[in-house]
Chains A and B, each alone.
Chain A
Amino acid sequence: MTPRKDLLDIQSLTDEELEFILSNAVPFKNLFKRSVKKVPTLKGRTVLTLFYEPSTRTRSSFEIAASRLSADVTNFSVSTSSVVKGESVLDTVATLEAMRTDYVVVRHSMSGIPNLIAKHTNASVINAGDGFHAHPTQGLLDVFTMREVFGGDVRGARVAFIGDIQHSRVARSTNLLCRRMGMQTAMLAPGSLIPRELPQEIAVFQDWKELYAWKPDVIYLLRVQTERQNVPFFPSIGEYHRLFGLTDERLKWARDNGIWVMHPGPVNRGVELTDSVMEYERSLIDQQVENGIAVRMSVLYWLKPGSSTEDKP
């Protein structure tokens, strides 16, 4: 497989590249069973996590993935330092160049910032979430997890995204990838949180009863991102939970029908889901976290700093 310089979104990945990343994640996950979980693949390389938005789990996941490949990992806490002092994104990039960083993992609240950075650096840039745009490694780890539970073949599986779809780059990347892999997808959300530009073939529900009738195999709960809502999109958290959350009663329906439950984290207990989900045998939430490390190792293994920046068709 020819290496690429950056991973900025799902769209630009070819089918062959997708398969390469997903299938290589299997041997990476097998490494976790060894007493020595580390391999020397990226020895002498530097991975820098550049997070303009707070994040614990995605950043830790990338950090663990990079250190299991023996890279040196540095965290550039932008929100608390340089930006406050007035440094622009491109000033920061110039600093990274001077530091001779090999990989930069970027999260930013504005869509397109990772692409901008990628154009101005020789380092490999990985988009770890930009605005409402994309979160490609989340999409990859979600589909990897679904492949595990469906025995490799996910074609025809039905996945329903529930919650704040409008503000979710996770829903965007994962939904896109699910559809590329031959799955059927649906959305369940308050009307105010459903994007206007959804393709017609995506089923849209505003009621759980409609979702029951659709017979999903997976329900993917999205985090309610109150921090992104300038104006309230629903009357109250209590009402959201009552109308759209995975309550005990709906969990019983999921259990009776063998439905898998996913969530990208961090979970708002009592909002998107009830505490009981933590003991649900078909909850894939922990598996998503573990798979995130394997998939990110696979991405770092595949990317090559300084290689062509041209997007493939």
Chain B
Amino acid sequence: MPDLAPILSKQDVTQRIERIAQAIQERSPGKDLALVGIYRRGVPLAERLYTLLKPHFPDLNIGRVDISLYRDDLKALELIPKLVGSELAFDLDGRHVILCDEVLHTGRTARAALDELLEYGRPRKVELAVLVDREGRELPIAADYVGERVTIKPEERIAVRFVEVDGEDAVYVQQGGARR
């Protein structure tokens, strides 16, 4: 990973996720709550929130969405993503869903995830939780739960790393290679 020091350390990442869990608990007392991670790094975020929230919401459900088939730029990509598939093994109708992703940037990923989610059923409410919120929105989308807001240059990119995927918990700012 980059030589630069992370902007969020392992401890910071844990603390931000706990803070999101706390906010969800305070604002979402419903019984029909579900967490849905956006593959790939939204999934470990959803799983960690699940661990923290399950004691307070015994009926809590968890799922994941793979948005590859819902991207609006698929045929412009140099590399075609391998599909993992979505997994929503519960009835979505009437649920309060919290979509989880590691970074909110352009809003296109969240848009694609919403499109996909709505084809599985009709949730009562959908909210968005992200570990990092950065500027650069291209669609009118905002997060309801944010771990950290950062301001970086347009050509920089946020790289969130989770133990489950990358072997460490940290958030870095990288030069160039901004993903859209």
Contacts and interface: CB of A to CB of B under 8 A. Distances in A.
Contact of B85 (A1, A27, A40, A41): A27
Given A3-B80, A41-B69, A30 B119 contact: no
Contacts of A26: 83, 85
Chain B contact residues (Cβ within 8 angstroms of A): what range? 10 to 19
Interface in B65-106: 66, 69-71, 74-75, 78-80, 82-86
A41 B74 contact: yes
A23 B85 CA distance: 11
Nearest to B77: A3
B156 interface: no
B78 A20 contact: no
B164 interface: no
B166 interface: no
B115 interface: yes
B79 A1 contact: yes
A34 B82 contact: no
B70 A1 contact: no
A1 B83 CA distance: 11
B45 to A, nearest CB: 21
B80 A302 contact: yes
Query: Secondary structure at chain A's binding surface: helix, strand, loop or mixed?
Result: loop
A40 B82 contact: no
B40 to A, nearest CB: 14
A304 B66 CA distance: 21
Interface string A32-57: 00101011110001000000000000
B84 A39 contact: no
A23 B119 contact: no
Interface of A: 1-3, 20, 23-24, 26-28, 30, 34, 36, 38-41, 45, 69, 301-302, 304-305
19 contacts: A1-B79, A1-B80, A3-B80, A23-B82, A23-B83, A26-B83, A27-B83, A30-B85, A34-B119, A36-B120, A38-B119, A40-B70, A40-B115, A41-B69, A41-B70, A41-B74, A69-B69, A302-B80, A304-B75
CB-CB nearest 5 A-B residue pairs: A27-B85, A39-B69, A36-B119, A27-B83, A41-B69
